[in-house]
Chain A
Amino acid sequence: MHNALIRLLAAILLVLPLASLSYAADDESGTPHYPKNKPRHVSWSFAGPFGTFDPQQLQRGLQVYREACAACHSLGYVAFRTLASESGPHLSADAVRALASEYIIEDPDAPEGERPGRASDVFPDAPPYPDANPPDLSVITKARTVERGFPTFIFDIFTQYQETGPDYLYSLLTGYQDPPDDVEVPDGNYYNPYFVSGTALAMPPPLFEEAIAYAQNADDNPNNDVPETVDQYAKDVTAFLMWTAEPHMTDRKSLGLAVMIFLIVLAGLVYYTKKKVWAEAH
């Protein structure tokens, strides 16, 4: 009889909160929840336990950043020298120096108060933007996320899905569209159903078909040509910004593999030792 009582109590305890939760779900029709659309999944080269960056993609992404984003968005934590990273964009030392020298760096010790950039400098701040504060993009792929919801967030532990940030950024960059009739978009804003905190955002669509001529398409080799589309630009710049957010990712994952193998072998050895020690105790 006790057991029956307890089961009843447990059932009530489970049902009551669940019922009030479904009430909560109904309630949500009142307060809108963003984003309207979940981010679209991209199959990134850097996903998964063996993921790495594609240097060519990062170089293209750097170009997209410089031509489409840099007018408003800074990259203040990224030093030019790191662009030479082998697991990153892998620019040559000369290319890094040449790129750095295209920037003017404020330096109180320089004769004029400013000088051409060096490899050791970081990207200088973007010019100030009136009435808005475009965020620095160095860690933007880690600073944005979309809630995964139950039970997906539990599966993510096992699938090692870590790409909500990049998926979100890609979806946002490619997600601009005409607003549906029932949505009113304030002046100076742009409708985007992937935007995480509203229906529209102040950033105008930054990418256009064929707006950026990829350097790698200009060479004589037609095999490495990539399409010059919004979709491709968005993927490339997102990959680049994933690298700027997590420049040691490749090191992390490869060290992780070694650590895992070590720990699993160690666990096996310790287990058999334990078995032997306890053989007489049981």
Chain B
Amino acid sequence: MQHDYFPRYEPKTAVGRWFDDRLPLTRLMYDSFVAYPVPRNLNYFYTFGGILSIMLVVQIVTGVVLAMHYVPHEDFAFDSIEHIMRNVNYGWLLRYIHSNGASMFFLAVYIHIFRGLYFGSYKAPREILWILGVVIFLLMMATAFMGYVLPWGQMSFWGATVITNLFSAIPLVGESVVTWLWGGFAVGQPTLNRFYSLHYLLPFMIAGVVALHVWALHVTGQTNPTGIEVKSKQDVVPFTPHATIKDAFAMTLFLILFAWFVFYLPNYLGHADNYQKADPLVTPAHIVPEWYLLPFYAILRAVPSKLFGVVLMFGSIAVLFILPWLDTSRVRSANYRPLYRQFFWIFVVVCIGLGYLGAKPAEGGYVVAARILTIYYFAHFFLILPLLGLFENPRPRPASIADSVLGPADQPSGAPAAAGGVAAPETRG
């Protein structure tokens, strides 16, 4: 973001100047994470970007060490996991951090995404920023899915079978595509080996897209609960120390939750079936993905046609790519959109409901319920969001971010008439 709110980097030593003239890396870091201006009214929902970057680092570090002990072979993968759990020093800790870390990563990313939906963070000029985020989300899902296959337990094997089989729904070439994905005629050694390779590769691709995501963020600047752009120095605080310390506090709280699962409920979020070695001859009673993929699984199974189910499942994520153009309202923050705010919360409940149904067997009333919620899911994007922007009367917004925090400045002209009423939603931050 172009600004002159806070002093930029000034090398203080001769070495610093020498370095800065040749590779201004310190300058980049300083200007991005120290002098960078942050809206002063960000609430704690805006700390999840920082939490997510920490989670990515945690996953990569634990994953790299786990990879030193793991054996990607259909006969030894399960045994090597037990070897890690029993014989590797603190192997149990590494593995439980890594497996629960995936869940925490998704918990954080869902809060991050819903925060973006609530405050309209995807609207111009932040479309690219948002789309990069959706790309990260897709990469995360692929990474998590392939990682879940690696222990080569029953749910690993059968989950891999179900998900790779989805591609057989592609007309004409579906079967060939699936054989190509498997590297054979069933999920087996070649599948495990390539999933391992990709599971190691994708996190670094995520890291790359995260860098673009942060770059795009630093070009446009952050949104904030008012949805009003930064207008003056009054509206912002420097990233360090303000955002740094606030992020650090949120991260510590998040780590407490994380530790609660790692140390006391390490298997709560997993499936018991995955402590049984993969057996191609025995199908588990219910094949269910990890909790964070359940809403999409529910959409997949809600449709009687396999091809259409796959299309809708991928469509439920693809729709996020065009979201910036589906929402016709020019007001960003749901705080000033009385109708959208209610539809937002309905949408949250619908997503949780889909998650619940994804865990249930696809029979009887569960399917009916999943169909209703699936239809609503898409109606939210294709009907409600476009129409709301046309019919909704947004509430008046404060004149500036500073006004919303500090109260309106004493200027008779330009102060919104309803300023008193507007101040209320801001106090929530």
Q: A interface vs B, CB < 8 Å? A: 2-3, 6, 9-10, 13-14, 16-28, 31, 49, 77, 79, 82, 135, 138-139, 142-145, 150, 156-157, 160, 162, 164-165, 197, 245, 247-248, 251-253, 255-257, 259-260, 263-264, 266-267, 270-271, 273-274, 277-278, 281-282
Contacts and interface: CB of A to CB of B under 8 A. Distances in A.
Contacts of A142: 267, 272, 275
A49 B92 contact: no
B376 interface: yes
A144 B252 CA distance: 34
B272 A267 contact: no
B263 A253 contact: yes
A263 B245 contact: no
A144 B285 CA distance: 13
Contacts of A138: 82
A273 B245 contact: yes
B275 A143 contact: yes
A26 B364 CA distance: 9
Given A24-B365, A273-B245, A197 B255 contact: no
Contacts of B93: 252, 255
A210 to B, nearest CB: 33
Contacts of B228: none
Top 9 A-B pairs ranked by shortest CB distance? A256-B263, A24-B365, A17-B369, A27-B364, A143-B275, A20-B368, A20-B365, A23-B365, A145-B272
Given A156-B268, A264-B256, A281-B237, A270 B363 contact: no
A19 to B, nearest CB: 8
B372 A135 contact: no
Interface string B84-99: 0111000011001000
A135 to B, nearest CB: 7
B259 A263 contact: yes
A13 B372 contact: yes
B249 A270 contact: yes
B250 to A, nearest CB: 9
Given A6-B339, A6-B342, A248-B92, A17 B372 contact: yes
7 contacts: A13-B349, A13-B372, A13-B376, A24-B364, A24-B368, A24-B369, A145-B272
A271 B365 contact: no
A22 to B, nearest CB: 7
A14 B347 CA distance: 11
Contacts of B369: 16-18, 20-21, 24
B339 A14 contact: no
A264 to B, nearest CB: 7
A26 B365 CA distance: 9
Interface string B367-379: 0110011001000
Contacts of A79: 86-87
A203 B85 CA distance: 29
Contacts of B305: none
A266 B252 contact: yes
Nearest to B279: A133
B259 A135 contact: no
B259 A22 contact: no
Interface in B244-289: 245-246, 248-249, 252-253, 255-256, 259-260, 262-268, 272-273, 275-276, 285
A145 B353 CA distance: 23
A255 B245 contact: no
Contact of A23 (B273, B342, B364): B364
Contacts of B82: 77, 138-139
Contacts of B246: 274, 278
Contacts of A273: 245
Nearest to B350: A13
B242 interface: yes
Interface residues of B, number: 57
Question: Which residue of A143, A260, A264 has the most chain B CB atoms within 10 A of its CB atom?
Answer: A143
A2 to B, nearest CB: 6
B45 interface: no
Interface of B: 40, 79, 82, 85-87, 92-93, 96, 237, 241-242, 245-246, 248-249, 252-253, 255-256, 259-260, 262-268, 272-273, 275-276, 285, 338-339, 342-343, 346, 349-350, 353, 356-357, 360, 363-366, 368-369, 372-373, 376, 391-392, 405
B259 A24 contact: no
Contact of A281 (B242, B248, B285, B373): B242
B342 A10 contact: yes
Given A25-B365, A79-B86, 9 more contacts: A13-B376, A27-B363, A27-B364, A138-B82, A150-B356, A162-B268, A247-B86, A256-B262, A267-B252
Nearest to B79: A77
A171 to B, nearest CB: 15
B352 to A, nearest CB: 11
Nearest to A5: B339
Nearest to A244: B86
B353 A17 contact: yes
A79 B405 CA distance: 63
A62 B353 CA distance: 45
Nearest to A269: B252
Contacts of B256: 260, 263-264, 267
A162 B342 contact: no
A281 B246 CA distance: 13
A260 B372 contact: no
A260 B92 contact: no
Contacts of B262: 256
B248 A143 contact: no
B252 A277 contact: no
Contact of A274 (B249, B353, B391): B249
B214 to A, nearest CB: 22
B368 A252 contact: no
Contacts of B342: 3, 6, 10
Contacts of B255: 263
